[in-house]
Amino acid sequence: MLDLLGGVSYPSPDRIDAGRERRHLDIVIDPVGAHPKVVVENKLYSIPYPAQLTKYNAYPVPWSSSHGDEGAVETRYVLLSLMAPSFPLPPPWVHVTYRDLADALAHVDEGHLGRTSDLFVRYRALVHRLVALAEAVDPAQALDEQFSVVEVVAQMPGGGLDGAIAKLRFSGLAQAVQAHFTHPKELELDGARGGRISYWRRLADNRGGVGWQFQENQLRLQITVEDPDLQGKGNEAARAAIVEAEHVEYFDHSQVEAILGSELRSKTYTPGQWNHFNPDFAY
């Protein structure tokens, strides 16, 4: 498993120091006396955007505290995820899939692990189930079928995974769309509040972002105006004026009417009231 993450065949190290959640870095691994060291960003239901990974490069690690944005020397930075990113990772990051992890775990003899063998067996089974889940809900596996989250969730045994499956499926949809661009678009993912999943793309003037947002049974186009003088309540009209003057064409739904039909709901706000969405979502 260390060989998989490090990308080399390590000699048997005398000691392996590992830590988790170290200053926002998910996992740091130091095979003492050997190189490369390893930093792991672990993602289950999403893909981090490139700027997020680049930000991690300069974070201190146990073996290096003063390196710059290029990352620590003789260190391998690994994005471990269920889904493959459809854009090139920023240096020095490389991608390792959960399928790769599952294959590596299959070669571990749990009989040599002593008291932790039972825990390892359960973890290995969990990884295999996650891989199977990701493959089952990935839209890229059946691009000719109608996209649905509700139907997929209904087929899954057990409960408590509805939100995770929806996020995984919509993340997969975004990745599938990305794959059709000649030049991949940099998307920022936000899925931390109230079951809301948002994908953003920065506006050319860097004054905000446009994208789509999924929450419960709604898929919404959205835009933000990020001007420090226009933030907060009382400035809605000023933000709306900017949207209507510069970005109103983004909210033209005519191209999708033939696809969505009756599922495309009419707007519930009048011109000038861009900050309100049905039923009661407000920016």
* Tens of pLDDT, residues 170-203: 777 777 777 777 776 666 666 555 566 777 777 8
Do 118 and 82 share a domain, yes or no?
yes
The answer on 128 and 166 residing in a single domain is: no
Cα within 13 Å of Cα(273), Cβ side: 10
d(CA 237, CA 243): 10
| Residue 18 shares a structural domain with residue 122 | yes
pLDDT in tens, 23-62: 789 999 999 999 999 999 998 877 777 888 999 999 999 9
Co-location of 80 and 180 in the same domain? no
Task: State whether 73 and 193 are in the same domain.
Answer: no
Given this model, what pLDDT does residue 279 score? 38
Domain total of the chain: 2
pLDDT tens-digit series, residues 231-262: 877 887 888 888 888 888 887 777 777 777 77
In a domain, 240, yes or no: yes
Whether the bond between 88 and the residue before it is cis, its omega within 30 degrees of 0, is no
Going by pLDDT thresholds of 50, 70 and 90, the confidence category of residue 280 is: very low
Local confidence band at 87 (pLDDT 50, 70, 90 cut-offs) = confident
First-to-last alpha carbon distance for the chain, in angstroms, is 45
**Is 238 part of a structural domain of the chain?**
yes
Alpha carbons 151 and 253: distance in angstroms, whole number: 25
- Judge if 240 and 121 occupy the same domain: no
Domain that holds residue 216: 161-282
**pLDDT, tens only, 132-185:** 888 777 777 777 766 655 565 566 555 556 667 767 777 777 777 777 777 766
pLDDT at 122: 95
